[in-house]
Amino acid sequence: MKLYNLGELDLRCLYERVSLDIKPILVLMNNGNFMGYDKMLPKTNPLTNDKIPQFIKDGKYSEVEQYIKDETQDFLKAYQILKREVPKLKNHLKT
């Protein structure tokens, strides 16, 4: 941060930021199995995130940007489906 004059890093941003983790929902939808839960998300880009460090090292920034855009769109599609379907499930759980 100092090298590029980006100011100080406030560590509170790492634990106070709003986040949404849909992994537990996907695990439940996968019959409670952790193995294969990630297959429930639609994948636009065939790349996996383990390739990203090498792309950065090789200066292939457009590939990194496209991966991020694709992952974002995939997450949003899955989130919209869950947002539509989970309230129906909640109605079944009310006593």
pLDDT, tens digit, 9 for 90 and up, residues 2-60: 788 888 877 887 778 777 777 888 888 888 888 887 777 778 888 888 999 999 999 99
Does 7 map to a domain? no
**Phi/psi zone of residue 26: left (φ > 0), alpha (ψ -120 to 50 degrees), beta?**
alpha
Does 38 map to a domain? yes
Does 2 map to a domain? no
Model pTM score? 0.62
What's the sign of the alpha-carbon dihedral 60, 37, 42, 74?
A: negative
Does 51 map to a domain? yes
Does 62 map to a domain? yes
What are the structure tokens assigned to 83, written together? 């947002």
Cβ–Cβ under 8 Å, residues 78 and 41: yes
Q: Write out the residue range of the structural domain in which residue 26 sits.
A: 12-93
Count: domains in the chain: 1
Does 3 map to a domain? no
Does 28 map to a domain? yes
Residue from 13, 32, 16, 36 nearest 24 by CA: 32
Q: pLDDT tens digits for 49-61? A: 899 999 999 999 9
